[in-house]
Amino acid sequence: MPPELDQVVREEWGRLVALLLAHFRRLDLVEDALGDAVEAAARQWPRDGTPANPAGWLQTVARRRVVDRLRAEAMAQRRHALVVTDLERRPPRAMADPGDLVEDDLLRLVLMCTHPALAPESASALALRLVLGVSTHDIAALFLVPEPTMAARITRAKKKIVTAGIPFAVPDLAVLPDRLASVAQTAYLAFTAGYAPASGPDLLRTALAGEAVRLVRTVRALRPEDPTLTALLALMLLQHSRRDARLDDEGRLVLLDEQDRDRWHRDEIEEAGRLLASPGLLGVPLPEQAAGYLLQALVAAEHAAAPTSAQTRWDRIVILYDQLLEVSPSPPARLARAVAVAEAHGPRAGLAALDGLEVPGSHRVAAVRAELLARVGEVPAALEQLDTALAACGNDTERAHLRRRRAELAPTGG
Amino acid sequence: MKYLVLLMADGELPAWSTLSEEEQQAGMRQFEDFDAACRDRDGVEILAAEALGAADTATTVRTRGGERTVTDGPYAEAVEQLGGFYLLQAPDLDVVLELLTVLPPYDIQVSPVVDPY
């Protein structure tokens, strides 16, 4: 694909889909037509030169395709012939249109992709596909499923949008914050799938996290005052800023306290800091979800602000986790709080904070318990917990880390 | 578009027959409010609506291996206590979902009717 085409697909795909959809209301035709237009561009641009307005070129070609398809359908049905003529007469809307229409169209597209009547995992994939133009092949790789599986999932979601009449519309202002919250949830789901791989080797997952950040950025540009999107973008940027330091040269997991802080992306940390200082987040009551993202972002900001791991303000982090547990008490938050307590007040306090905590199916509680037991010198109990963690852990990189820790504690293999 | 709205189950509501007379009347008023909300909404029309007899009055017909059997009771795998239905004309799914908030909180399935065009 020529670089100019690659760039316009990356930057304008969502807007083009939104524009065409606003005009034709036929999701099934619009996306195929745009795909055809990109294919045609890949053939013609290297031969004839890149057009002056690449996005406009794609829009025009895709428009013609949709009209052709509608005409073919109308020929089959006769009765729609007049509709097609009418569509052809309408002037195309310019890409350069500076008005709110295009932005609202894009917001409509995002809200349609993340409609609550669609399964959340389909919604994430659909938003990456339709809003950001990520190829089905890449989305499949990002979510670690076979391409035909992902293609079927996306096709099913598109079919449901068309047949169930899921609207291409911005809902009433009264419910818009709720809907944006579900958009945020969808983006966070995609981000988490990329940031904390639950299984398999680490591959393209950083790219998925990056795409999820781009999605939140895109939606927040349309509704900059929304506190949930602002807090979430800050949280994601802070976590994403550590991506290059999380694995060493051999692809092994590097825990936070051992990470090379020079490899953190400082520009992203600074951007997150500006977001966290925005007026929409401070001194106002926040919806529960926004408050949850904000508190997690503030924890991440404490880590980002510490020049070294040893200088981390763990006492402040414990307080932030206490507040987070008040907003949304969840086992993972309790686990994170216990780690912070151990750092602030010693491993025994951490072990006490872990008392009675179980996260079914997760290896992390056992792994943390093992580490704290090792620190207070209870090696046999630590080994037992490490074995429990190893049995439950499905991620290759994390398993390697647990095995290394086990070998350090029991050099003779006991 | 046309939508078939199936009132699938009582959900957290007590069964209709166990309600007091006043509670039943309050329930009936919610159905009347739903009728009114549909009348007031542009592009929305109730094309058909009926309450259905209790599950133990349903009859199921199955054909297996060419043999047709008629048995007592509802088709258990699909619906335990389908209470009634609406056939609605509405512009899109969100309009239907919004109007359904006027009804008592049944468990509801909304299925689009296939448009031949």
| Residue-wise pLDDT tens digits, A311-354 | 999 999 999 999 999 998 888 899 999 999 999 999 999 999 99
Structural tokens at position B114: 């296939």
Closest CA to A375 of A403, A349, A347, A345: A347
**Mean pLDDT to the nearest integer, B66-94:** 82
Query: Which long-range contacts link A356-364 to residues 24+ away (Cβ below 8 Å)?
Result: A357/A331, A358/A331, A359/A331, A359/A332, A359/A335, A361/A392, A362/A392, A363/A388, A363/A389, A363/A390, A363/A391, A363/A392, A363/A393, A363/A398, A363/A402, A364/A332, A364/A335, A364/A389
Q: Which of A80, A163, A167 lies closest to B94 in CB terms? A: A167
pLDDT at A196: 57
Q: Is B114 on the interface with A (CB under 8 A)?
A: yes
In A245-313, where does DSSP find H-type helix?
266-276, 288-305
**Mean pLDDT to the nearest integer, A143-165:** 91
B57 by Cβ neighbours in 10 Å (0-12 / 13-18 / 19+) ranks as exposed
**Crossing angle, helix A288-305 and helix A314-327, to 10 degrees?**
170
Pair B21, B67: CB distance under 8 Å: no
Count of beta carbons in the 10 Å neighbourhood of residue A330: 13
Least confident of A210-219, A269-278, A309-318: A210-219
With CB atoms and an 8 Å threshold, state whether A165 touches B91.
Answer: yes
Maximum pairwise Cα distance, chain A = 83
How high does pLDDT run on average in chain B? Answer: 88
Count of beta carbons in the 10 Å neighbourhood of residue A145: 16
pLDDT at A4 over 70: yes
What is the spatial distance between Cα A320 and Cα A295, in angstroms, rounded to a whole number?
6
**CB within 8 A of A276, min separation 6: which ones?**
A231, A234, A294, A297, A298, A301
pLDDT at A84 over 80: no
Residue-wise pLDDT tens digits, A372-393? 999 999 999 999 999 999 998 8
Name which residue leads in pLDDT, A338 or A254: A338
Cβ neighbours of B110 in A, within 8 Å: 164
Structural tokens at position A9: 């697909």
**Mean pLDDT to the nearest integer, B75-101:** 85
Pair A127, A110: CB distance under 8 Å: yes
pLDDT at A37: 95
pLDDT at A141: 78
pLDDT at A396: 83
Cβ neighbours of A164 in B, within 8 Å: 93, 110, 112
Could you give the percent of chain A with pLDDT greater than 70?
A: 90
> In Å, how far are A37, A50, A97 from A350, measured between CA atoms?
58, 61, 58
Pair A131, A110: CB distance under 8 Å: yes
pLDDT at A112 over 60: yes
Name which residue leads in pLDDT, A168 or A81: A168
pLDDT at B113: 94
**DSSP element (H, E) containing B87:** strand B84-89
How far A273 CA sits from the closest chain B CA (Å)?
A: 38
Instruction: Return the sign of the alpha-carbon dihedral for residues A264, A270, A275, A279.
Output: positive
pLDDT at A99: 46
**Crossing angle, helix A364-375 and helix A347-354, to 10 degrees?**
150
pLDDT at A304 over 60: yes
With CB atoms and an 8 Å threshold, state whether A167 touches B3.
Answer: no
Closest CA to B90 of B116, B117, B110, B108: B110
DSSP A253: B
How far B4 CA sits from the closest chain A CA (Å)?
A: 11
Structural tokens at position B60: 């199921």
**CB within 8 A of A247, min separation 6: which ones?**
A202, A253, A254, A397
| Interfacial B residues in 75-94 facing A (CB < 8 Å) | 90-94
Most confident of A85-94, A126-135, A248-257, B51-60: A126-135
What is the spatial distance between Cα A408 and Cα A414, in angstroms, rounded to a whole number?
11
Rounded to 10 degrees, the C-alpha dihedral A172/A175/A178/A180 comes to: 10
Pair A17, A130: CB distance under 8 Å: yes
DSSP B71: E
Pair A207, A257: CB distance under 8 Å: no
**CB within 8 A of A385, min separation 6: which ones?**
A366, A367, A369, A370, A373
Least confident of A169-173, A388-392, B43-47: A169-173
**DSSP element (H, E) containing B5:** strand B2-9
pLDDT band at B103 (very low <50, low <70, confident <90, very high): very high
| Interfacial A residues in 111-130 facing B (CB < 8 Å) | 115, 117
Closest CA to A222 of A93, A96, A111: A111
Count of beta carbons in the 10 Å neighbourhood of residue B105: 12
- CB crowding A263-299: b at 16 or more within 10 Å, else e: ebbeebbebbbebbeeebbeeeebbebbbbbbbbbbb
pLDDT band at A410 (very low <50, low <70, confident <90, very high): confident
pLDDT at A97: 45
pLDDT at A98: 44
Pair A373, A382: CB distance under 8 Å: yes
Cβ neighbours of A176 in B, within 8 Å: none
**Mean pLDDT to the nearest integer, A152-158:** 93
Cβ neighbours of A83 in B, within 8 Å: none
pLDDT band at A198 (very low <50, low <70, confident <90, very high): very low
pLDDT at A379: 93
**CB within 8 A of A178, min separation 6: which ones?**
none
DSSP A376: T
> In Å, how far are A5, A80, A108, A196, A313 from A22, measured between CA atoms?
23, 19, 9, 37, 51
**Mean pLDDT to the nearest integer, B92-111:** 92
pLDDT band at A71 (very low <50, low <70, confident <90, very high): confident
Interface test with B, best of A163, A172, A175, A176 (most B CBs within 10 A): A163
